[in-house]
A and B are shown apart, each in its own frame.
Chain A
């Protein structure tokens, strides 16, 4: 089966108009068995069906692609649309249904569908497998790329009347990150009086991004973004009476924050040729980062607030064990009620914080080193209860009760050592006495 599809055109109106036309030029549908099931019910095996290994199999694969032409701001196009040229797996679906569920060994239904692979900013795969009253499995993988370069954000910092006028062409908080989410869940004996549930969810978010640090000047940083969570959960459902069930769930969430930061934007030079950054807040109108940032020869004033080097790492680990007890009952005539009680005791640890600054900041600080650790807890108790009494078919009384308690004790301990100095052409001076600071907000 071949078909040609012309997709909608996309227009952007930033300064000059941008036009993006995505044309799907080639679609190949490979269909094994009957045509795609569309919106109608899939019939049981009939003489025309593709029956293999005791299953009716339906599948379709749509290959295609995009041809994109775009003018205007490429950054804005990527921020808002980000569809690029190239071949793609536009859509695929696959379904196996047992001809005789009672005689199917591993499963009596399997279905899967995917889209977007090959370069689209969003792609995913979804899968369901079930075997009657034995189990029900659901899984998915989703991936999306997030590109952001919205270049209007920093412009108020730098008025056009600044001398020199160095406009920010890219947002200081640019990012080009990818999020991958994997989700699998299985319910065992879903129709029985006692059934079990198990699941795992992983979320990884990583990629290069931009950030800033305010240390007198506004330093531009490359932020190596990497955060993730792993969530394991197990639960049991018990149906002791008709229309009554109780449930218990245990969730274990593990957070890992490995984002690190380092200086970028070393666009200028000192008189001795050393690369130096004046940060993103460079304006003679605001006298930032100093009144006279440049010497007559174009080199940077060594007495101006500036950055020669900056790094920071803050590896954070958090464990969230969370319990939940739920119940519901409609066994009493005309009365339905349900409720839940949840408890969580979280511990977050930042074990080895490390920050290094080299440059010049106000107060005559030529260099600083900050090390330390932090710890935070969150104790959360939550209870909800709801009841509905259907007095007559048209009159009912309903109410809910909610209770929420949380507290968050936290502490951090940091040691900062600063080195005196007034010129970035000179090495840092002698260290001042370290400053120890312990905080319990």
Chain B
């Protein structure tokens, strides 16, 4: 029992330390006081209304009329709060002559504070966010979203996909510059077609298809199956056990330059793999470097157990 308590204490201490370290690494300013996360009793008299905000913040208020957030105002018959639903009551800010610290500022808030503000309404759509790599790395909502600017091409994003995603995911940008790649840069696909940046239960924030398979099968429907003879890695390890999903110098986005060097990773005599080894008549060194010249239905077949047809 004491051993467990010691372990728990160390874990709690480490998690607190880790959280602090993350916040500092992200360059987050110290938490804001007052209007941020602490729950206080709502006093209607503390709210001044969007018209008052507009006297100084004309650009933001005008833009808000064209913002999907304006639907909230419609929900309340046009009388619902707009600016102050996110920034908090503005009375103190107004009475102080516009002192910035008297109202919630998203630009000065910590990522956690911003996240809490946004998720107070949007958690229904993004329940996994706090457990995602984005959430854990303290990437706040406003790193990607701009709540005041709405343009049809980008919706609420600060830039179009994939430009926005590339700002951090430089490895993905390099991958999509490979000779063979999914057509993201060409505009056919978006990062969010395959990934949900707000989180899923899958690794790498990957979405699930309507058939509860890897999202790859949404487009690559010929691999959907089920097949009488199915290549086991498809189910047990997934598409990425053989393919790079973003881009590759290999024409089939394979993770190896030669087809046979990929296949032999499993199909070799080994105590660690149950996959059968290649027969002796397969001249792997020279003649049959591309296994899929014969094993054409490599994802699965209903008629042939070695995937010939």
Name A residues whose Cβ lies closer than 8 Å to a Cβ of B: 37-44, 79-80, 93, 95, 97, 101-102, 111, 113, 115-116, 121-122, 124, 128, 130, 132-133, 142, 144, 148, 150, 153-154, 156-157, 159, 172-173, 179, 181, 190-191, 201, 203, 205, 211-214, 218, 227-229, 231, 233, 237, 239, 243, 245, 251, 253, 255, 257, 259, 280-281, 283, 286, 312, 314, 316, 318, 320, 322, 324, 328, 330, 336-338, 340, 342, 344, 346, 348, 350, 353, 355, 370, 372, 374-378, 380, 382, 384, 386, 388, 391-398, 400, 402, 406, 408, 410-412, 414, 439, 441
Contact = CB atoms under 8 A, between A and B. Distances in A.
Contacts of B124: 237, 239, 243, 245, 328
Contacts of B59: 41
A375 B294 CA distance: 24
A212 B293 contact: yes
Given A102-B74, A132-B71, A386 B201 contact: yes
A203 B151 CA distance: 29
A386 B128 contact: yes
Given A116-B187, A214-B294, A228 B221 contact: yes
Interface in B202-217: 208, 210-212
A346 B228 CA distance: 13
Given A44-B62, A191-B71, A212-B294, A203 B218 contact: yes
B78 A102 contact: yes
Interface stretch (B16-24, B41-49, B95-103): B16-24
Contacts of B65: 44
Contact of B149 (A41, A142, A372, A439): A41
A148 B251 contact: yes
Contacts of A124: 187-188
B237 interface: no
B210 A133 contact: no
Nearest to B287: A286
A43 B37 contact: no
Contacts of B152: 37, 93, 95, 111, 113, 128
Most buried by B among A113, A328, A397: A328
9 shortest interchain CB distances as A-B pairs = A41-B63, A338-B127, A328-B127, A111-B152, A374-B302, A384-B201, A251-B210, A378-B226, A394-B19
B227 interface: yes
A406 B235 contact: yes
A322 B211 contact: yes
17 contacts: A41-B63, A43-B66, A150-B251, A153-B251, A156-B290, A157-B287, A173-B296, A229-B224, A259-B222, A375-B228, A376-B228, A386-B131, A402-B201, A408-B235, A410-B229, A412-B228, A441-B229
A322 B212 contact: yes
B273 interface: no
B128 A410 contact: no
Interface in B25-54: 31, 37
A144 B183 contact: yes
Contacts of A44: 62, 65-66
A391 to B, nearest CB: 8
B101 to A, nearest CB: 19
B73 to A, nearest CB: 9
B293 A172 contact: yes
Given A97-B66, A344-B211, A408-B226, A395 B12 contact: yes
Contacts of A412: 228, 302-303
B290 A348 contact: no
Contacts of B221: 203, 205, 227-229, 255
B156 to A, nearest CB: 12
A398 B18 CA distance: 14
A375 B303 CA distance: 10
Given A37-B152, A124-B187, A388-B130, 8 more contacts: A40-B151, A93-B152, A144-B188, A173-B296, A255-B221, A314-B302, A376-B227, A386-B127
Nearest to A245: B124
Given A41-B148, A394-B16, A408-B226, A414 B293 contact: no
A421 to B, nearest CB: 22
A179 B219 contact: yes
Contacts of A396: 15, 19, 130
A344 B201 contact: no
B241 interface: no
A286 B78 CA distance: 81
Interface string B87-116: 000000000000000000000000010000
